[in-house]
Amino acid sequence: GAGVSQSPSNKVTEKGKDVELRCDPISGHTALYWYRQRLGQGLEFLIYFQGNSAPDKSGLPSDRFSAERTGESVSTLTIQRTQQEDSAVYLCASSPGTAGEQYFGPGTRLTVT
Amino acid sequence: DQQVKQNSPSLSVQEGRISILNCDYTNSMFDYFLWYKKYPAEGPTFLISISSIKDKNEDGRFTVFLNKSAKHLSLHIVPSQPGDSAVYFCAAREIGGSEKLVFGKGMKLTVNP
């Protein structure tokens, strides 16, 4: 019954490698968001999917970051050629539509060594 | 350029007393404000929200006040309980824009028994 789930919960990778982070939103939620939280900072918006509309990618920090969503379900955030500054907790959230509060997953803690 | 500011990183109060968490914003296009609570190793959970057409919203022990002219909102928790100890994030959404939320850096609340 679940809430938003994310995998893996922790990921350690070497600089330069690619990583994929997965998010399973709450069933029936049409909107899905990715945020990241670097140490000591607030949550930083990355990308937003709403139904079949074009995603809002305005928060992606570089072209090394991309995300996909399959219909109204699973989303994958991919970071290519990871850098140490990519180390953060990556949080996924979903909501039932516009004007709804967002429900967050537990996050994936990414450490780039 | 921080659009949502939580200027105090931490607050400590005694159980049973009032906790007041403050948040300032700079973007006059924000129309909806939310408070999230976050425990370690968990994603943020929605607490309470307020639309810009209101100046107060109450839910049990939690009340959010909005002062649009001052671009200031506050969260009051009364009476505070040890289980309220967490990091609290203030967030805001922009009128007519994407549904992305802009978050403050968070404030750590500690309620002492």
| Domain limits, chain B | 4-112
Mind listing the pLDDT tens digit for each residue in B19-67? 999 999 998 889 899 999 999 889 999 999 999 999 999 999 999 999 9
Cα distance between residue B49 and residue B58, in whole Å: 9
> What pLDDT, on the 0 to 100 scale, is given for residue B47?
95
For residue A31, what are the CA distances in angstroms to A43, A49, A102, B42, B64? 18, 6, 9, 20, 25
Q: Residues of A with CB below 8 A from B6's CB?
A: 42
- Residue B100 pLDDT: 83
> CB of B104 within 8 A of CB of B8?
no
Q: Nearest-5° angle of CA A108, CA A43, CA A107? A: 15
CB contact under 8 A, B46 and A91: no
Spatial distance between the Cα atoms of B105 and A53, rounded to a whole number of angstroms:
30
- Pick from A96-110, B12-26, B79-93: least confident: A96-110
Q: How far is A104 from chain B (nearest CA, A)?
A: 5
- Let me know if residue A8 belongs to a domain: no
Q: Name the band, by pLDDT with cuts 50, 70 and 90, for residue A98.
A: low
DSSP state of B64: E
**Candidates 2.60.120.260, 2.60.40.10, 3.30.1490.20, 1.20.1260.10; CATH matching B4-112:** 2.60.40.10
Residues A33-76: pLDDT tens digits?
999 999 888 899 999 998 888 899 999 999 999 999 988 789 99
Number of domains chain A contains: 1
CB contact under 8 A, A99 and B101: no
pLDDT category at A99 given cuts 50, 70, 90 is low
pLDDT of residue B41: 85
- Chain A residues with CB under 8 Å of B106 CB are 42
CB spacing of B43 vs A4 below 8 angstroms: yes
* Calpha distance A54→A48 (Å, rounded): 9
A107 within domain boundaries: no
Q: Does residue A106 lie within any of the structural domains?
A: no
Domain range for residue A54?
Answer: 16-99
Cβ atoms within 10 Å, residue B12: 11
Q: Any idea what the CATH number is for the domain that residue A71 is in? A: 2.60.40.10
Distance from chain centroid for Cα A57:
12
Q: Do B44 and A45 touch (CB under 8 A)?
A: no
